[in-house]
Amino acid sequence: MGKYLVSPIIKTQDDGSFAAAVSIRSGIGQASHDRVMRFTRRFPTQRAALRYATDQGLAWINALH
């Protein structure tokens, strides 16, 4: 999305479900900023968690503009 880098983060839970988070980075060098959002919802597949995290990151960026 131009000046933003959206990086989904997926972690396998003890029960086999997947947790999702997303990192949204903007700026360059010392002026960079990294926002991380962690979600409480659990997902049955890694793909579902990845999609959710990516969608949430993009929605956050779109809400700014």
Residue 26 has pLDDT above 60, yes or no: yes
Query: Can you tell me the distance from the alpha carbon of 53 to that of 8, in angstroms, rounded to the nearest whole number?
Result: 5
Asked if residue 64 belongs to a domain, the reply is no
pTM equals 0.88
Reported confidence tier of residue 29, pLDDT bands at 50, 70, 90: confident
User: What is the reported pLDDT for 2?
Assistant: 67
User: What is the reported pLDDT for 30?
Assistant: 83
Count of domains for the chain: 1
Give phi and psi for 60, each to the nearest 5: -65, -45
Give phi and psi for 2, each to the nearest 5: 75, -105
Residue 60 has pLDDT above 70, yes or no: yes
Residue of 55, 20, 62 lying closest to 38 (CA atoms): 20
Six token digits for residue 19: 């947790």
- Higher-confidence position of 6 and 27: 6
Range of the domain at 27: 4-59
For residues 9-17, average pLDDT: 98
Asked if residue 28 belongs to a domain, the reply is yes
